[in-house]
């Protein structure tokens, strides 16, 4: 099977039917395996046992296989009359990931291309190692949202956004639990904090997130991601361990499972240390800032005239941008500015990179360069070069 060639989904489904028939684990039963192969951590080091691993597979191809198997586990345990592939296409339409166009209408909707885009979406935005966390580690949200979609038939996008925002907030809380944070930890916290764009500040606090958790599986996933982010420096400090134990307890997870989650992330990264890069490693964060800053500055430079023209028509946005050079904006103002910036970027095709899932984490860098476009009257402290 070639996960990068046409027809791989049908081939994979045939393999499952040939060897396993209608017998397939539920998502809850499959969860520990998904963690073991690195799918939950965003670094797929092998495929699930349903498919024989191949040393020629790339991490992205393994990710495709594991993602589809996770979706199939959901589908196989929820009653629906719609065929598997069609139900997944409908799901991605429902969360506005798939957009119909003339080519798709003529050639037919293609699940393979949807999954390819979903996994490879950030290759041109971030370094691959970092994107494994910010994008591929969040793929399990899609799986949980798909289960929600099949069972509830409504509010799937709201569910997905809530999960994403909750994860970002809890990861930041885990990183904040460190007694001594490096400059890279602080940079990562600020980056993730700036990425929260779906909910207002009142719905992003720890207590609200704990109360909104809808299932045991969701709770386990939150704890595992918190463990992964804490283990970025190859150790758990006492404060970090205390935070993880408190988080697990608040999520109503037993002490045995909390200990297992902490131990599993240690074993996974120790066993695969030569295959993957850790979330908080210096090289990953440093590379991310270098590469993404270059991308953003180049985009702004190439589109400066168009940006300035659009900015002149957005008086509220200009006001907020100018004020951001003199004081810290409130959470409400930050959210308003991010929303208006995204609306602005939609009008410039070459900046569509910011519209992609995960693209919002580049907004802080984008905002950093934007004030240079504003008239000098907006920034009294500006020094001429």
The reported pLDDT for the residue numbered 91 is 92
Q: How far apart are CA 129 and CA 145, in angstroms?
A: 25
Summarize pLDDT for 326-351 with one digit per residue, the tens. 777 787 887 788 778 877 777 777 67
Give every CB contact of residue 35 below 8 A, 6+ residues apart in sequence.
41, 224, 264, 268
pLDDT digits (tens, 9 = 90+) for 123-180: 443 344 344 444 567 789 899 999 999 998 888 888 988 888 888 788 888 888 877 7
pTM above 0.75, yes or no: no
Mean pLDDT value across the chain: 76
Distance CA 40, CA 33 (A): 9
Contact predicate 242/173, CB 8 Å: no
Q: How many CA atoms lie within 13 A of 139 on its CB side?
A: 33
State how far the Cα of 199 lies from the Cα of 168, in Å rounded to an integer: 12
313-316, Cβ contacts within 8 angstroms, sequence gap of 24 or more: 314/340, 314/344, 316/340
Going from N- to C-terminal start, the domains of the chain cover 1-154, 162-271, 283-378
Paired tokens of 23: 């017998």
Cβ partners under 8 Å of residue 223, min gap 6: 244, 247, 248, 251, 253, 258, 261
Could you report the per-residue pLDDT of 349-360, keeping only the tens digit for each? Answer: 767 667 665 566
Q: What percent of the chain has pLDDT over 90?
A: 23
């Amino acid at each position: 099977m070639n996960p990068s060639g046409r027809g791989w989904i049908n081939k994979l489904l045939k393999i499952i039917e040939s060897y396993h028939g209608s017998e397939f684990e539920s998502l809850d039963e499959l969860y520990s395996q998904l963690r073991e192969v690195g799918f939950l951590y965003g670094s797929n080091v092998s495929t699930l046992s349903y498919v024989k691993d191949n040393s020629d597979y790339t991490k992205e191809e393994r990710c495709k296989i594991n993602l589809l198997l996770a979706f199939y586990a959901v589908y196989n345990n929820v009653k629906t009359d719609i065929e598997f592939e069609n139900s997944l296409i409908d799901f991605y339409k429902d969360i506005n990931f798939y957009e119909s166009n003339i080519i798709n209408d003529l050639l037919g909707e293609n699940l393979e291309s949807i999954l390819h885009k979903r996994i490879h979406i950030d290759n041109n935005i971030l370094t691959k190692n970092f994107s494994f966390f910010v994008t591929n580690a969040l793929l399990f949200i899609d799986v949980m949202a798909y289960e929600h979609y099949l069972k509830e038939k409504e509010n799937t996008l709201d569910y997905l956004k809530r999960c994403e925002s909750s994860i970002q907030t809890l990861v930041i809380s885990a990183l904040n639990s460190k007694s001594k944070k490096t400059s890279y930890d602080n940079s990562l916290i600020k980056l993730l904090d700036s990425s929260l764009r779906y909910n207002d500040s009142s719905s992003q606090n720890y207590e609200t997130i704990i109360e909104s958790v809808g299932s045991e599986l969701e709770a386990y996933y939150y704890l595992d991601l918190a463990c992964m982010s804490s283990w970025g420096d190859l150790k758990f400090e006492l404060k970090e361990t205390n935070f993880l134990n408190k988080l697990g307890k608040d999520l109503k997870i037993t002490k045995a499972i909390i200990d297992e989650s902490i131990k599993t992330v240690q074993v996974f990264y120790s066993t695969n240390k030569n295959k993957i890069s850790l979330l908080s490693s210096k090289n990953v964060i440093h590379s991310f800032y270098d590469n993404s800053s270059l991308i953003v500055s180049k985009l702004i430079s190439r589109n400066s005239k168009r940006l300035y023209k659009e900015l002149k028509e957005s008086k509220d946005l200009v006001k907020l941008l100018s004020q951001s050079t003199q004081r810290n904006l409130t959470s409400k103002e930050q959210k308003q500015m991010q929303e208006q910036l995204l609306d602005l970027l939609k009008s410039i095709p070459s900046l569509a990179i910011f519209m992609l899932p995960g693209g919002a984490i580049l907004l802080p860098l984008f905002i950093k360069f934007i004030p240079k476009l504003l008239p000098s009257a907006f920034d009294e402290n500006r020094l001429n070069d």
